[in-house]
């Protein structure tokens, strides 16, 4: 089942560089992204002692609806979006980079890596490195840290010149939170582990550092009497900054990740396409996804089952955010009159303002008033008690 989009979904995006890893474009169709127009005074910027965040909407042209939205710095840019691929159980993923066009700062995620292994697969015509039902055929590599070192980082090595790992940390509670939010049906069946590695490398001829996060999962089930291990790396996301400044970006990373809101209409259509692909037992490993015949059969009416699933997912996501906060601190929850649930924003600012367009201004200037010179109404918001 599709989990949190920025968590598990976040093509052409490389870890830490534009362009991304080489992908099989015959199996993928990338979404478009659309950004909201800024309603804040043009004179306000980060140099004015604060930060302005705007809402960004990612649309999926294949399904014709908004997929999800999130908050980002108003002067940053976005590349990437929803990716459709030849995997019946998980036909959609996300690859996205959110970056400062004037510096090395970047936050984003790359597609999850679903894998499968059985000792009999090579003899059946599926050697290591091939695809079986949309999953890469390769033996499990161990826990999350091993997967990040031996599978994820080598995949993007061409975009990480001179990279070396300078630190690594297991994150067991993060793995538990992701498992509860995204894989409730595998609780007690699969093994989950989480981890973070920090790499140092040259970006634009200057030293940069990047934290790369991931959650590894593995479970074995018999298929036609043969034990088959399904495993993979999920929630692959990253944060990059100039060397020595990465810690300062932690709270912005968390704000981006946990401001994400999945569109229930998109989830409804996605679930239908996924179900039809699984039911047809589509041998996606040998040909491209033929989305058109599935999309034509989708129904925009949202069932009670989908609605309940969506609501349960939101609750699980909030729990995951609360646990992840133990590792990436520096945010506070705010309640605004324009949102139906609290929003997490970077802490340490004297005042926070919001408007109906989903934008936020955080300021250290006690005399700053965004209503001066603006054609939109801004309201001061307080912290969640």
Say which residues have a Cβ less than 8 Å from residue 62's Cβ, sequence separation at least 6.
Answer: 29, 31, 82, 84, 291, 295
CA distances, 149 to each of 6, 43, 109, 115, 196 (Å) = 22, 44, 16, 16, 10
Whether the Cβ atoms of residue 346 and residue 362 lie closer than 8 Å to each other: yes
**Strands 92-99 and 77-84, bridge-based pairing:** antiparallel
Give pLDDT tens digits for 63-104.
989 999 999 999 999 999 999 987 888 889 999 999 999 999
Residue 288 placed within a domain: no
Structure tokens at 280: 């047809």
Residue 310 placed within a domain: no
- CA 273, 93, 178, 326 dihedral sign is negative
11, pLDDT greater than 50 = no
What integer pLDDT is reported at residue 49 of this predicted model? 58
Highest mean pLDDT among 15-19, 85-89, 321-325 belongs to 85-89
Which DSSP string corresponds to 334-379? EE-TT-SS-EEEES--SEEEE-TTS-EEEES-TT--TTTT-SS--E
The H-assigned helical ranges of the chain are: 144-147, 153-155, 172-182, 250-258, 264-279, 291-295, 304-324
Whether the Cβ atoms of residue 51 and residue 347 lie closer than 8 Å to each other: no
Whether the Cβ atoms of residue 297 and residue 348 lie closer than 8 Å to each other: no
CA–CA gap between residue 343 and residue 330 (Å, rounded)? 13
CA–CA gap between residue 263 and residue 270 (Å, rounded)? 11
CA distances, 320 to each of 7, 239, 315, 326 (Å) = 10, 19, 9, 10
Residue 231 placed within a domain: yes
What integer pLDDT is reported at residue 331 of this predicted model? 73
Whether the Cβ atoms of residue 236 and residue 112 lie closer than 8 Å to each other: yes
Quote the number of domains for the chain.
1
What integer pLDDT is reported at residue 232 of this predicted model? 94
Residue 379 placed within a domain: no
Q: Say which residue the tokens 């490195």 belong to.
A: 129
Residue 337 placed within a domain: no
CA–CA gap between residue 218 and residue 140 (Å, rounded)? 8
CA–CA gap between residue 338 and residue 351 (Å, rounded)? 17
Whether the Cβ atoms of residue 365 and residue 347 lie closer than 8 Å to each other: no
Which DSSP string corresponds to 274-315? HHHHHHTT--GGGS---HHHHHTT---PPPHHHHHHHHHHHH
**Strands 50-60 and 32-35, bridge-based pairing:** antiparallel
Whether the Cβ atoms of residue 179 and residue 217 lie closer than 8 Å to each other: yes
> Of 4-13, 245-254, 339-348, which gets the smallest average pLDDT?
4-13
Higher local confidence (pLDDT), 132 or 45? 132
Give pLDDT tens digits for 127-141.
999 998 889 999 999
CA–CA gap between residue 334 and residue 385 (Å, rounded)? 9
Q: Give Cα 297 to chain centroid, integer Å.
A: 28
Whether the model pTM is above 0.85: no
Full domain range(s) for residue 91: 5-266
Q: Where does the pLDDT of residue 149 fall: very low under 50, low under 70, confident under 90, or very high at 90 and above?
A: very high
What integer pLDDT is reported at residue 330 of this predicted model? 64
CA–CA gap between residue 138 and residue 130 (Å, rounded)? 8
Residue 305 placed within a domain: no
Whether the Cβ atoms of residue 240 and residue 105 lie closer than 8 Å to each other: yes
Give pLDDT tens digits for 201-234.
999 999 999 999 999 999 999 988 889 999 999 9
By the 10 Å C-beta count (0-12 exposed, 13-18 middle, 19+ buried), 22 is classed as exposed
Q: What percent of the chain has pLDDT over 90?
A: 41
């Amino acid at each position: 089942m599709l989990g949190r989009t920025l968590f598990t979904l976040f093509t052409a995006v490389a870890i830490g560089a534009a362009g991304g890893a080489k992908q099989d474009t015959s199996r993928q169709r990338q979404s478009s992204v659309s950004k909201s127009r800024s309603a804040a005074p043009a004179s306000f910027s980060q140099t004015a002692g604060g930060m302005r965040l705007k809402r960004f909407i990612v649309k999926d042209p294949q399904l014709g609806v908004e997929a999800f939205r999130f908050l980002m710095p108003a002067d940053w840019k976005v590349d990437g979006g929803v990716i459709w691929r030849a995997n019946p159980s998980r036909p959609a993923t996300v690859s996205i980079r959110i970056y400062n066009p004037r510096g090395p700062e970047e936050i984003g995620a790359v597609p999850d890596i679903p894998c499968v292994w059985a000792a009999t697969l090579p003899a059946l015509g599926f050697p290591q490195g091939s695809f079986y039902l949309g999953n890469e055929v390769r033996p499990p590599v161990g826990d999350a840290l091993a997967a990040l070192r031996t599978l994820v980082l080598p995949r993007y090595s061409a975009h990480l010149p001179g990279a070396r790992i300078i630190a690594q940390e297991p994150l067991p509670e993060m793995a538990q939170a992701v498992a509860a939010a995204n894989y409730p049906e595998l609780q007690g069946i699969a093994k989950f582990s989480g981890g973070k590695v920090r790499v140092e490398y040259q970006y634009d001829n200057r030293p940069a550092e990047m934290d790369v996060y991931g959650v590894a999962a593995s479970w074995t089930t018999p298929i036609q009497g043969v034990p088959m291990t399904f495993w993979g790396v999920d929630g692959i996301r990253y944060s990059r900054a100039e060397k020595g400044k990465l810690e300062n970006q932690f709270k912005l990373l968390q704000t981006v990740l946990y401001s994400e809101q999945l569109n229930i209409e998109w989830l409804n259509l996605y679930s239908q396409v996924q179900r039809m692909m699984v039911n047809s037992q589509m041998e996606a490993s040998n040909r491209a996804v033929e989305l058109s015949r599935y999309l034509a059969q989708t129904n925009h009416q949202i069932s009670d089952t989908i609605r309940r699933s969506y609501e349960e997912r939101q609750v699980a996501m909030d729990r995951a955010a609360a646990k992840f906060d133990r590792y990436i601190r520096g945010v506070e929850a705010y309640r605004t009159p324009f949102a139906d649930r609290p929003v997490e924003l970077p802490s340490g600012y004297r005042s926070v303002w919001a408007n109906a367009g989903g934008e936020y201004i955080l300021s250290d200037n006690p005399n700053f008033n965004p209503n001066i010179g603006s054609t939109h109404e801004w309201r001061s918001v307080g912290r969640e008690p």
